[in-house]
Each structure stands twice: as structure tokens, then as C-alpha cells.
A and B are shown apart, each in its own frame.
Chain A
Amino acid sequence: MKILVCVKRVPAPGAKINVTGDGMDVDSAHLGFTTSPHEECGVEGAIQLKEEHGGEVTVLTLGGGEAEEQLRYAASVGADHGVLVKTDGAPWDPQRTAAAIAEAIGDLETDDPFDLILFGNESADAGGFQVGIRVAHALGRPIVQGIKGIDVGDGSVTARREIDGGFEVYELPRPCVLGVKEGLNLPRYPTMKGRLASKKLEIQTVDGNADAGGMARVRLRRPAEQVSETIILGEGPEAASAVVDVLEELGVL
């Protein structure tokens, strides 16, 4: 099997994000970076499929040179190849991103197409929800978004996504594209040896070529801070019954 996973480098979640003075970008001064969470599951999913069915996993990202870090991270958990679609590092709109990625994929698929291409449902920072769909459309392949389960059969792929009270099950012919969501699996951490091996990864770099799309960023604005209320249930063993009440309310018991 030949699987391609497209990932994006995003600020590590969990931190208060500051906006630059001109409001145009995220202030990355204090930020660590990581692979967007849906895509991290995508990489794990691809590697699990490789372990089950054999084959190769290629990881692709569009961004500046620093995004190589995400490719190496994927290699440290088992990806075989890395491709950087190189840009100036500035945030690109979804049309432009998709066009550049589609072109790069076209160049990569010299012999056979990728059996399966995985995208994150949406990126953790821009949240456009579009790139996977636009790329699939450009390649003329079917795509389903919101996927949390993947099985591979002869010539087809079965994909599941959650709905209220159950799953929708889709069957797609190969080659196809899926947009996956966190919950697809629990991504493994790299091992020390995996990390060291990832340093040997030869990253193929291609120039990102695409015209700007129709969407342009006006500015970023922080939403009003939502003050959450903290209710102290009690202290020590005396709080136990109050805790049980809350858990019952949440339906986890």
C-alpha cells in the first residue's frame, strides 16, 4: 500500500495565544510547534495500516523550512518518506494551499497513485475545513470527512464516522482521500531510536507553486475571554458524594 498523509505545522495547543501587534498573525515568541492533532492521528493511522498491510507511508507538508521538524517527527514514529512543499512560511489561504499540494502530489505520483491520502479534518489553527476536499476534487478522487475508523480491503477502503447514536459507514474505491479526526487512534510517541533514525530522513523539497486564492485574511481578533465558573465541591472525603452527583449528571457512571 502507498499512503500519503498531509500534515500541517501548528502552534502547540494548550497555551494562551497572543496576536502580533498588527493583528495579522499569531505571536510565536513563546510557542512550541507540533503537528495538528487530527493529522497526528492520520500519521498514526497510516503507520498502523502499513504495519497491517505492508507498503510505505509518505508524509507531506506545506510550509517554510521549519516545517521539516514535523516531517522528521512523523519519520520518528514510522513514516518512510517526507516531502516539503516549500513556501515563504507565511500562512496561505486554503485554495492556494490545496492547489500547491495537488500539483506536488501530481509530481509524486509518477508510477501509481497513492492508494490512500489522509488529511486532517481541519487544521488546529486556521480551521478552514477545505484543503482536503479541494485536493481530492483536483485529483478527481472521492473524499469523506470526519473519519474515525479506517479498514482496507481489496481495492476499496471502508471508513466510519460518528453520528448521534452510531456510525455512518462509507466504502470508497481506491485511490481515495479521507479527512480524519482525533479519536481515530491514540498516536504512539517516538522512541529514542526512532528519533535518531528520523535524522537520516532525506526530505524531498519542491517549490510551492500556486496563485493566491479568493480568501484573504483581514485580521485576527481574540474572542472575549470566557470566564469559567469554578464551584468548589468540598474538601477531602466529604466531597465524595458531591463528586458522584456531578459524574452522574455527566452520564459517565
Chain B
Amino acid sequence: MSDSSTNSVPTTAKVVVLGAGIVGNCVVGHLARLGWKDMVLIDKGPLPNPGGSTGHASNFIFPVDHNKEMALLGEQSANQYRDMDLSVDAGGIEVARTQERMDELQRRMTSAKAWGIEAHLLTPAEVKELVPFINEKVILGGFYCPTVSVVDSLETGTTMRKEAIETAGLQVFANTEVLDVLTDDTPRPNGRRKVTGVVTDKGTIEAEHVVIACGVWSNRIAYMADTYIPLVPAVHQMADVGPMDILAETNNEIGYPIVRDMDTFCYERQSSGSMEVGSYGHRAILHHPDEIPSNQEAALSPTEMPFTPDDFDDQMETAIELMDMLGEAEIKYAINGLLSLTPDGMPCLGEMPDVENLWSAAAVWVKEGPGMGQVVAEWMTYGNPRVIDSHGADIARFYDEEKSDAHIWARAEESFIKTYGIVHPAEQWAGERQLVQSPYRSRQEDLGAEFFQARVWERPQWYGSNADLVERYDLSEREVEWDNRWWSPITVGEHLNLRENCGMIDLSAFQIYELEGPGAVAFADYLAVNKVDVPVGRSVYTPWLTHDGGFHSDLTMMRLGEETVRIVTGVFDGGRDDFWIRKHMPNDGSVTFRNITKEISTLGLWGPNAPAVLGQLTDHDLSQDGSPYGSYLDATIAGVECKLFRISYVGDTGWEIYVPWDRATDVWDAVLEAGKDHGLRITGGGVYSLSGRIEKGYRLVGAELESEYNPVEAGLARPKVKAADFIGKEAYLAAREAGAEVQCVTLSVEDNTDSQGRKRYMQGGNEPILDMNGDRIIDSHGRASRVTTAGYAPSVGKMLLMGYVPNELAEPGTDLQVMYMNELYPCKVVGSGSAFDPEDTRLKG
């Protein structure tokens, strides 16, 4: 293998990849497979082990994860390791010491079913059969995956790198340090800069693309380009203990299954005759990248930092409890190993939103290395990943407030202890709250708002001031604590009140943009599937597609003027949509782009009495003639100039009211006052985002709408396709031609009583939808039917689910099953439209 470490680097390259750990190596390997040439790989350390996190990784893959991206990319990666013959299926067992954990193992079984991973629940005695040296008396049971694998990540990286050298002429420079990342900072209409190259201690390379795969150093490298990859190096302790005869006798690197002692935040993994004991149970120990020693300064390697024994003692005790033989074994090697933590626990992949052709491939574990290398390579090649929808890992997702060291560190400190924790799907962060505040915050606090955070924004999920609705509608808490967690019957009361009277909802977290200029409408049409070039005053609800015709976004666009288009999208998608606009907009000055999110606040007002309420505040004709569905009009409310947009995401008539931010509270107060005699209640996100939506079957980006599905399958294809070109048009036309083999449908749970006689409520966490034999339903693309949204529908009186099923199972009335917490519940297909008011009489009169 060529190591050109004494030579100087080439002066130009098409791609420079920084970092030769598992990620960097897999990126170049996959780029080579996709036909890229003229590539350079650089690392400041030596090869094959440059001293990053890969070098000391525990190298095992537990395939079951509740998160879809992580589970599918983990499985993808595990298979890539297997294909290279650098993997052994050792099997793995997550043991439970508490009843709470036993419940979580049921959830694990459900996710295993969802992703099609073989898994079994074991009794303590059965665990002992597989792991004879375990003390079965301290455990209640185990979750066993025979396909947990142990991989050789160093060799894998080497193999991928060699492949790139041999097939694509990759040049490799070890022991070469990057000193700067160069950018062209000429101001451009899209607000983005452009990467132009890298400066190393062996010369400068002019490059078209630069990929940062620097592991724990990635943010420091990003700083060189005046941008951010939000991550922090964090310690995870591990000790090598041994030798022990029972392990040595296997004559194998790994002969016994790996044990994850989840409740004590530890794992025990055999390593030949010794046991590697790893811990995620200590205090969060974070390091600034500048604190990481160089290869020369480090006694072992930069990411194998000196062990702090005090932090490991508790875990040592509990490990001995579980495996007594560890007590007498010698501690031969122990480190504070470094890995990367991000604010939300997901990796950072994709193109930097503010720097063209600068790519992030960071905060990736060995477990997903090959798969995520492929994601980034495909992103570079096709403009979007193909192997899996990666919106959760997309580096464009972050808002500015999430990029500061203070925020990253605070979140890392809070999240570290959750690495093996039991995390509820709706769990809220304790710290770093109210990073961005809506204008109504103090009023909301006075009304007892239960704030749920949406990235950096806060949206009240329900209001304590509506507690009386629980009695009014005879509602109750849910029986099982897990289902009741981060939920309140108040939200059901708010829903019923909205459908009976009306409700006002704070939608300030909407991300609002404006495109202006002679090219604005044409550009807007290029982004969108549906026609944006509509008469002034009208709006369009439309998907934006990826180049492959899958969903990137789903939002509203409003023709505000001849040359002005307003775009309104959801808070979870703002970062990616902002980036998408900037990436594709023309730079000839014909379009300007403004993010006006903090200039405009949105209030939603819906319900049968909404017209009566609003009618008190404006003389405008609010009938279906004066204010037709899908249109907006200018009106003065309480002396404030607003826009009233006749649209509804909750299935009742009403408006989104766009209010200037600095006058927002005037409108809030006026509407609440006007609504006093019409049963108006302030209403939370539990209705807007969930119960109202699911009753209407409205699809949501990141749930039903992902890049793996197209509008035909989602039931959002219009009868005609506009003539104008748009991103993904070719793929979309092909999809229309081919027709869909699956449909997005709503299902009702016919009986949500579990085996203990308790009513259960699905969380919308990818629960598998199964046929009447209990088998997974998989389409020809390998996509399994699963729950994309789940919510209790108060006006329908049932638990509703949404998901994709094959056409032959999509007929209304079809019987299917859903698995929740490892039990099966019967459900029926309602259809691909609305479960509630299917004719939309409430909306359109």
C-alpha cells in the first residue's frame, strides 16, 4: 500500500478526504465504487491506525435500535463488514436487572420485529446457558440477538482504502496535518461560501470537494472553514481484564456472546482470553479538541487518554456482581477512550449548509461506519443518499443556537448517561430550554403551558389552564405509566373543545422564508412538484422532491406578489429546507432569499366557531367566498396588519394568522377576548401535531413523508403534472408511470387491550404492522410496513395509526395487526383518506 508520507501532496484533486478512520476510509471506498477519481486521503496520524476512535473501538454491532436510521444503517454496515469477511456473529444479550428494563426489552423485541432482526427473550437460566460465568441471580432476563457481530474495523478501513487506491488511484498521505481549509468567501445571493482546498504541512491542495471525517477533531477542522460540526469529544471508559481460563479455552477472539448490562451502563465483551469491560455509567467527561494530545504526546494514542480509576469503581463493582470471575482477574489495560457526542445524539452527515462542497462525515460509530460512508458518498454523487433516508443525521438540521460549544457541551452532559438508558420517544430535555422564545411565552406560562421543545423552539403541548376539560369530557389518565408519560388527558379535552367550539394554537415555530425577484417564481416552481405560478393571493401545498423523486419537504408556498413567494415549513425541517433553497437557488441575482421566521409569528384559529370569533375582529368577508380555502387575505386585527391564510392541518375550519412578531401579543389578547363567548380555548401541539392531524390522515415530513417514498405512494400525486421542470421530475414521472405498489393508509386499532387487561396506546415509534400470521409485510423494495404516526383520535374514539401497506392490503376493512411492546393488537385499514369527516365538510363548507 502506498504511503506517500514523505512526498509532498498534489496541487489539485477532485476530492480531499480528511481523516483515515473507519469513516474516511469507507467514504473513499464508496466514492471509488461510485466512479469517483482523483481523490486524496489525508491523516495526521500514521497508518493503519492513525490514533482516532476507530483504533480503540469495541468493534461490536448490536443491530436493534429504536431509531430507524440508526437501525437500518447499522444493519447495512454489519452486512458490509460481513461481505468483506471481517465480521463474526458472536451474538449479544442485553440483560435486565430491573422490571423497568424488562419492559424496555419488550420494546426491543418490537423494534427487532420492525427491522426484521432475529431476537429472543431469555430467562435468567437461558442466559446462563449461553454465558455460563454470569450470575443469573442478579438478572431478571435477557434480550438475545444471535446476529450481534464483532468486526475488524481497522482491517475494514484498510480494505476500503486499498480498494480506492487500486480501482480509483486514491493517493494517501499519512503523518500529514491539515493546517487550514480554504474557502472562497465572495458574497453570493445564496449566502453560501465555497470550499476551494486545504493547506497541509506538506503543501496546499486545490480541491473541488473536501470531506471532514476527522472524528473527535471534526469541529476543530470545521472551524478552519469558519463553520461548525456540532460535536464534542467525550470519554467512555474501558478496561481489559484477564486472562481467564474459561475465555482462553474458547481459543477464539470471541467465543461467548457479548453482554450489555444495561441497567449498570456497562458491557462485557470477550477479547481472546480477557474481558473488555466498557462503561457509559460515569460522569460525562468532555474534552476540548485542543486538549487531545498529538500522536507524539500520547502514551498510547490521542484518543486513548489516561484512565481515571475513580470514575470506574462503581461499574467495577456491578460488573463483578454480574460476573464474579472478573474480581480476581488483572486489569491489564484501561483507558478513558474518546468518542464524539452531538447535541441530539445523531451523526453529522451531508453538505455543510453554509459552505458549498464541504462535507461532514462525523460523529459516526464503528457500528454505522460503512453505511454512513456510503450515505455521504451517495450524497456527493446523487445529491441525496439512496441507501436510506438520512434526514435525522443531516448536518443541515441544526439551528444556529445548537452550534455553540456551550450548548453542545450541556447536551452532551445530559445525554451521556442515556447511552444505555431507557428513553421515552417523547422524552423532553431538562436543560438548554427556551433557547428561542415565542412572543407569547409569559402568557403561556401563566396559562400553565407544558412546553415541548422542537429543536431550539418551544411549543406548548397542552395547557394546564384547560384541566377543567378533563372533567367536562369525562376523560382519564392512561392506565400504564409508559403510555401516560409525556402525555395528559388535557390534550384530548383541548381536541374535543376545538371540534365543538374552537381553539387557538401558537405556531410561532413555523419557519418562514421569502423569495423575491424576477426569478423568484420560476425558482419556486423548480423546487416544487405542484404549480407555484398561481394567481397572487393563492397558495400551494406541495412536496419538494429529492433528485430521485422521494420526499425532501412538504410545505406551503404562497404567491404574495408578482415576484414574491412565501414559504412556510415546519420547525423540524427548517434547517434542511433553508439549505435546500440556498443550494439550488440561482446566483445571478434574480432571486433573493430571506429567512423571516423571527419577523412573523403565526397563530392558528380553528373550530366551528372560528369564523364567528374572527368575525368580531375584522369586517372582512370570512365566508368560503370571501376567504376561500387555500387563499390568504390581508386584514387588520386589533390594529395590527395580518395575513389570514385559510388552511387547516387539524380538520376544522379556520385560519393561520400571520402576525408581525413585535405586535403578536396584541393579536393573541384580542383573539382570546373575542373567543370568550364562543368557547375558545388556547390549545396545544398535542392537537395540532397529532390528534387533529391523525384524524385527517395528514402526512408529515419525517414520518410518512421520507425520501424512500414518493408522492404516488403517499397519495399526494395530483391528477396532472405541471409543464415546468422541477427537482425530481423525471423520477416522479417514472413513478407515476409505474404506479405504486404500496399506499399510505390510516388504520384503527380495534382492541387495544393487552394480555393483562390494560388499555395500551402506541407511541408512533416504528411499531411493525403485521399480517394476520404475525409476519412482517415487506414490499418489493424491501420496505417494511411500520407505524409512522400513532395517536388517540378523540373524535373517532379509537387509537389510529398511519403507515404504508401494499395495495392488496389497503382496502378499507382489511384486518391487520400491530405489535406494541411485544404484544399483538388487531387493527383495520380505514383507508388512504381521512378517518374523521372524510368529505372535508368542516373545512370547505
- A: residues with CB less than 8 A from B are 12-16, 18, 29-33, 69, 72, 188-193, 195-196, 199
Neighbour of A192 across the interface among B291, B297, B307, B327, CB < 8 A: B327
Question: With the chains together, A193 CA to B329 CA distance in Å?
Answer: 8
Q: Is B666 an interface residue (CB 8 A)?
A: no
Q: Which of B201-209, B312-320, B472-480, B512-520 contacts A (4 or more CB under 8 A)?
A: B312-320
Q: Quick check: A190 and B331 within 8 Å, CB to CB?
A: yes
Per-residue CB proximity of B292-321 to A under 8 Å, as 1/0? 111011111000011101000100110110
Contacts of A192 in B (CB 8 A): 241, 316, 319-320, 326-329, 331
Interface centre among A18, A69, A191, by most B CB within 10 Å?
Answer: A191
Q: Is B332 an interface residue (CB 8 A)?
A: yes
Q: Could you jot down 22 A-B contacts, CB within 8 Å?
A: A12-B306, A14-B299, A15-B293, A16-B294, A30-B293, A30-B298, A32-B305, A32-B307, A189-B332, A191-B327, A191-B328, A191-B329, A192-B241, A192-B316, A192-B320, A192-B326, A192-B329, A192-B331, A193-B320, A193-B327, A193-B328, A195-B313
Q: Quick check: A196 and B317 within 8 Å, CB to CB?
A: yes
Q: Quick check: A189 and B330 within 8 Å, CB to CB?
A: yes
Contacts of B300 in A (CB 8 A): 14
Return the chain B residue nearest A15 by Cβ.
B299
A195 with B309, Cβ < 8 A, contacts A15-B293, A188-B330 known = yes
Contacts of A191 in B (CB 8 A): 327-331
Return the chain A residue nearest B326 by Cβ.
A192
A13 with B299, Cβ < 8 A, contacts A189-B332, A191-B329, A192-B326 known = yes
Interface centre among A189, A192, A196, A199, by most B CB within 10 Å?
Answer: A192
Return the chain B residue nearest A73 by Cβ.
B309
Contacts of B332 in A (CB 8 A): 189
Contacts of A13 in B (CB 8 A): 299
Neighbour of A18 across the interface among B297, B299, B331, CB < 8 A: B297
Contacts of A32 in B (CB 8 A): 299, 305-307
Return the chain A residue nearest B295 by Cβ.
A16
Contacts of A72 in B (CB 8 A): 309
B510 to chain A, nearest CB (A): 47
The 10 closest A-B pairs by CB, nearest first: A32-B306, A30-B293, A189-B330, A16-B296, A193-B327, A15-B299, A14-B299, A30-B297, A12-B299, A192-B316
How many A-B pairs have beta carbons closer than 8 Å: the answer is 62
Question: With the chains together, A16 CA to B328 CA distance in Å?
Answer: 34
> In B337-392, which residues have CB < 8 Å from any A CB?
none
Q: Quick check: A189 and B331 within 8 Å, CB to CB?
A: yes
B95 to chain A, nearest CB (A): 19
Q: Quick check: B326 and A33 within 8 Å, CB to CB?
A: no
Return the chain A residue nearest B317 by Cβ.
A196
Return the chain A residue nearest B327 by Cβ.
A193
Return the chain A residue nearest B335 by Cβ.
A32
Contacts of A193 in B (CB 8 A): 320, 327-328
Contacts of A69 in B (CB 8 A): 309
Return the chain A residue nearest B319 by Cβ.
A192
Contacts of B294 in A (CB 8 A): 16
Contacts of B313 in A (CB 8 A): 195-196, 199
Return the chain B residue nearest A29 by Cβ.
B291
A249 to chain B, nearest CB (A): 27
Q: Quick check: B316 and A16 within 8 Å, CB to CB?
A: no
B155 to chain A, nearest CB (A): 17
Q: Quick check: B327 and A33 within 8 Å, CB to CB?
A: no
Q: Quick check: B293 and A195 within 8 Å, CB to CB?
A: no
Question: With the chains together, A33 CA to B305 CA distance in Å?
Answer: 11
B325 to chain A, nearest CB (A): 10
Question: With the chains together, A89 CA to B296 CA distance in Å?
Answer: 26
Contacts of B326 in A (CB 8 A): 192
B276 to chain A, nearest CB (A): 13
Question: With the chains together, A72 CA to B300 CA distance in Å?
Answer: 23
A227 to chain B, nearest CB (A): 13
Contacts of B306 in A (CB 8 A): 12, 31-33
A15 with B320, Cβ < 8 A, contacts A31-B306, A193-B328 known = no
B307 to chain A, nearest CB (A): 7
> In B644-674, which residues have CB < 8 Å from any A CB?
none
Contacts of A199 in B (CB 8 A): 313
Contacts of B291 in A (CB 8 A): 29-30
Contacts of A196 in B (CB 8 A): 313, 316-317, 320
Contacts of B331 in A (CB 8 A): 189-192, 195
Question: With the chains together, A12 CA to B306 CA distance in Å?
Answer: 9
Q: Quick check: B297 and A190 within 8 Å, CB to CB?
A: no
Question: With the chains together, A193 CA to B298 CA distance in Å?
Answer: 29
A185 to chain B, nearest CB (A): 15
Q: Quick check: B298 and A15 within 8 Å, CB to CB?
A: yes
Since A15-B298, A195-B316, A196-B316 are in contact, a sample of 4 more A-B pairs with Cβ atoms closer than 8 Å, ordered by chain A residue number, is A14-B299, A29-B291, A33-B306, A189-B331
B316 to chain A, nearest CB (A): 5
Question: With the chains together, A69 CA to B241 CA distance in Å?
Answer: 20
A16 with B327, Cβ < 8 A, contacts A192-B319, A193-B320, A196-B313 known = no
Contacts of A29 in B (CB 8 A): 291, 293
B364 to chain A, nearest CB (A): 25
Return the chain B residue nearest A193 by Cβ.
B327
Contacts of A16 in B (CB 8 A): 294, 296-297
Question: With the chains together, A251 CA to B299 CA distance in Å?
Answer: 30
Question: With the chains together, A69 CA to B306 CA distance in Å?
Answer: 13
A32 to chain B, nearest CB (A): 3
Interface centre among B297, B313, B317, B332, by most A CB within 10 Å?
Answer: B297
B392 to chain A, nearest CB (A): 35
Contacts of B296 in A (CB 8 A): 15-16
Q: Quick check: B307 and A190 within 8 Å, CB to CB?
A: no
Question: With the chains together, A87 CA to B331 CA distance in Å?
Answer: 30
B333 to chain A, nearest CB (A): 9
Return the chain A residue nearest B315 by Cβ.
A192
B319 to chain A, nearest CB (A): 7
Question: With the chains together, A166 CA to B329 CA distance in Å?
Answer: 36
Contacts of B329 in A (CB 8 A): 191-192
Question: With the chains together, A163 CA to B325 CA distance in Å?
Answer: 43
A190 with B330, Cβ < 8 A, contacts A29-B291, A196-B313 known = yes
Return the chain B residue nearest A30 by Cβ.
B293
Question: With the chains together, A96 CA to B326 CA distance in Å?
Answer: 43
Return the chain B residue nearest A225 by Cβ.
B296
Question: With the chains together, A22 CA to B844 CA distance in Å?
Answer: 79
Contacts of B293 in A (CB 8 A): 15, 29-30
Return the chain A residue nearest B320 by Cβ.
A192
Contacts of A188 in B (CB 8 A): 330
Contacts of A31 in B (CB 8 A): 299, 306
Return the chain A residue nearest B329 by Cβ.
A191
Contacts of B316 in A (CB 8 A): 192, 195-196
Contacts of B241 in A (CB 8 A): 192
A63 to chain B, nearest CB (A): 17
B312 to chain A, nearest CB (A): 8
Contacts of A30 in B (CB 8 A): 291-293, 297-298
B195 to chain A, nearest CB (A): 31
Question: With the chains together, A182 CA to B299 CA distance in Å?
Answer: 19
A48 to chain B, nearest CB (A): 15
A28 to chain B, nearest CB (A): 10
Return the chain A residue nearest B305 by Cβ.
A32
Question: With the chains together, A30 CA to B302 CA distance in Å?
Answer: 9
Question: With the chains together, A137 CA to B294 CA distance in Å?
Answer: 44
Question: With the chains together, A53 CA to B9 CA distance in Å?
Answer: 65
A15 with B327, Cβ < 8 A, contacts A192-B320, A196-B313 known = no
B337 to chain A, nearest CB (A): 13
Interface centre among A16, A32, A190, A196, by most B CB within 10 Å?
Answer: A32
Return the chain B residue nearest A32 by Cβ.
B306
Return the chain A residue nearest B328 by Cβ.
A191
B445 to chain A, nearest CB (A): 45
Contacts of B317 in A (CB 8 A): 196
A191 to chain B, nearest CB (A): 5
Question: With the chains together, A188 CA to B305 CA distance in Å?
Answer: 22
B383 to chain A, nearest CB (A): 42
Return the chain A residue nearest B336 by Cβ.
A32
